[in-house]
């Protein structure tokens, strides 16, 4: 499948929106659903620039339009005369990177660009030292990905831009699935530093953009609850994120995950010289934690960071049961006054809903729980204020767990 065609010159398509949608766009709404649009004037192709206008045809914003998809429009500028060209994208990318480095203090590895929070819905860029991994989920942005790559290569220290445009969600937008080096050197592996530990990152083989940077500050924070000689269980350990920080703090760690994930964790444990403090258990998290309940071993700290159990609203009931069960098991595996570090990356599970699940699991387990820290994604993952809690897909809760 070819990339989206360039927009032909002519009358700009217009999306007429109702007053409530008009107000929300001015307040910060950047993703317009079909229900927001009363009338579409013109025949835009997917990715064409269109205007969002009020009921009288007065300009509100420029957007990328995709008439056959949801969202139907992604707002990119509130300025009528602003040119949406390569220079526009370059300015946005440079501003996002500068903010993270100069204001937030990030360096080395971080989320460099995060969609609508940085002014371009449908664009995500993660930086892993000299490599940038880019994901595009908007036909309009797809037309400018080479310009975006060029802007990224202009940032000090970046030598490679990889596209991880292999998510099946792109097919619903009429976009091809692609994965590989987009620009720069053919370098796809890096060793990154996160607090006191190092990780191998393969941007072509790892999940999503190559590595879960959203939990970075949460993993560093978890080390505060681990000390020399303490026992820590890392459930769904994947590349060893939480467990490595615990081991670096002096804890003895058991990492639990499937075979392929454990293989990656082993490499990272060796990279950090922590072999003497880390052991491994290959298997399914639900089954293995249930088996462990019948054994005497208990832990000072348990981390559980599962995949998203709710991919759509229809999954919520099943997801709630899964979160309940795994957290029940983990609470039962803690010593009295132990620490549970538990996460949910399901956007359809609200922070309030997740706390309710944890409270119910604690009651079922005969435990009392208190929230010590309630965290979300790292600061390099900003959330538009208008989205409220709905924008905070990641929940990471630190709990004190005691017997009743």
What residues act catalytically?
Answer: 345
Q: Among residues of the chain, what percentage have pLDDT more than 90?
A: 86
Residue of 108, 125, 142 whose CA lies nearest to 3: 142
Domain-ending residue, one of 162, 191, 220: 191
How many Cβ atoms are within 10 Å of 142's Cβ, its own excluded? 26
Same domain, 348 and 253: yes
Q: Is the peptide bond before 71 cis (omega within 30 degrees of 0)?
A: yes
Same domain, 90 and 73: no
In a domain? residue 159: yes
Is there a domain that residue 9 lies in? no
Both 339 and 389 in a single domain? yes
Q: Are residues 237 and 347 in the same domain?
A: yes
Other CB atoms within a 10 A radius of the CB of residue 155 amount to 15
Query: Which of the given ranges, 17-26, 308-317, 329-338, 385-394, has the highest pLDDT on average?
Result: 329-338
Collapsed DSSP state (helix, strand, coil) of residue 346: coil
Q: Does a structural domain hold residue 200?
A: no
pLDDT at 48 over 60: yes
Instruction: Indicate whether 67 and 121 sit together in one domain.
Output: no
CATH of the domain at 43: 2.30.130.10
341 pLDDT higher than 60: yes
Alpha-carbon distance of 288 to 267, in angstroms, equals 22
Do 124 and 236 reside in the same domain of the chain? no
For residue 203, being part of any structural domain is answered with no
Look at residue 2 and tell me whether its pLDDT is greater than 70: no
Q: Which of 54, 77, 100 lies at the terminal end of a domain, its last residue?
A: 77
Q: What is the pLDDT of residue 380?
A: 97
Same domain? 23 vs 99? no
**Assigned domain for 117 exists:** yes
Q: What CATH number is associated with residue 307?
A: 3.40.50.150
**pLDDT value for 161:** 98
Question: Is residue 334 assigned to a domain?
Answer: yes
Indicate whether 59 belongs to any domain: yes
pLDDT in tens, 235-287: 999 999 999 999 999 999 999 999 999 999 999 999 999 999 999 999 999 99
Beta bridge partners of 124: 114, 135
Of the listed ranges 10-19, 47-56, 329-338, the least confidently predicted one is 10-19
The CATH number for 125's domain is: 3.30.750.80
pLDDT confidence tier of residue 3, bands split at 50, 70 and 90: very low
Average pLDDT, integer, range 327-356: 96
267 and 130 fall within a common domain: no
Q: Which DSSP string corresponds to 11-53?
A: SPPEEEE-HHHHHHHHHT--EE-GGGEEEEES-PPTTEEEEEE
Residue 254 and residue 365 share a domain: yes
Q: Among the three residues 142, 157, 191, which one is the final residue of a domain in this structure?
A: 191
Lowest mean pLDDT among 5-19, 30-44, 349-363, 374-388: 5-19
Q: Report the domain count for the chain.
A: 3
Do residues 391 and 251 share a domain?
Answer: yes
Domain, as residue range, for 167: 86-191
Question: In the predicted model, what is the mean pLDDT of residues 377-402?
Answer: 88
């Amino acid at each position: 499948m070819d990339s989206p065609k360039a927009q032909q010159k002519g009358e700009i398509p217009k999306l007429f929106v109702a007053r409530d949608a008009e107000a929300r766009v001015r307040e910060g709404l950047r993703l317009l659903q079909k229900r927001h649009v009363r009338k579409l004037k013109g025949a835009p192709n997917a990715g064409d620039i269109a205007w969002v206008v009020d009921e009288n045809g007065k300009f509100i914003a420029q957007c990328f339009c995709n008439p056959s998809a949801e969202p139907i429009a992604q707002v990119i500028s509130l300025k009528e005369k602003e040119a949406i060209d390569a220079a526009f994208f370059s300015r946005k990318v440079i501003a996002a990177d500068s903010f993270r480095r100069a204001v937030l203090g990030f360096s080395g590895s971080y989320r460099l660009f995060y969609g609508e929070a940085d002014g371009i819905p449908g664009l995500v860029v993660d930086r892993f030292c000299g490599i940038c991994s880019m994901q595009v989920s908007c036909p309009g942005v797809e037309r400018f990905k080479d310009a975006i790559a060029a802007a990224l290569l202009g940032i000090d220290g970046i030598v490679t831009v990889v596209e991880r445009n292999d998510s099946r969600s792109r097919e619903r937008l009429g976009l091809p699935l692609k994965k590989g080096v987009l620009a720069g050197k053919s370098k796809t592996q890096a060793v990154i530093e996160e607090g006191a530990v190092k990780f191998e990152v393969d941007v072509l083989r790892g999940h999503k953009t190559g590595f879960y940077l959203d939990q970075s500050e949460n993993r560093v924070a978890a080390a505060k609850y681990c000390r020399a000689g303490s026992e820590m269980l890392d459930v769904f350990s994947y590349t060893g994120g939480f467990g490595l920080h615990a081991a670096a703090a002096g804890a003895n760690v058991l990492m639990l995950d499937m075979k392929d994930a454990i293989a990656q964790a082993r490499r990272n444990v060796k990279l950090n010289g922590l072999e003497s403090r880390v052991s491994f258990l290959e298997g399914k998290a639900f089954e293995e934690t249930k088996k462990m309940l019948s054994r005497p071993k208990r832990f000072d700290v348990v981390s559980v960071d599962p995949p998203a159990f709710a991919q759509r609203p229809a999954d919520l009931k099943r997801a709630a049961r899964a979160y309940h069960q795994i957290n029940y098991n983990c609470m039962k595996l803690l010593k009295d006054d132990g620490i549970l570090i538990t996460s949910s990356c399901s956007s359809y599970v609200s922070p309030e809903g997740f706390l309710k699940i944890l409270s119910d699991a604690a009651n079922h387990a005969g435990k009392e729980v208190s929230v010590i820290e309630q965290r979300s994604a790292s600061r390099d993952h900003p959330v538009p204020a208008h989205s409220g809690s709905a924008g905070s897909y990641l929940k990471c809760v630190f709990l004190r767990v005691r017997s009743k």
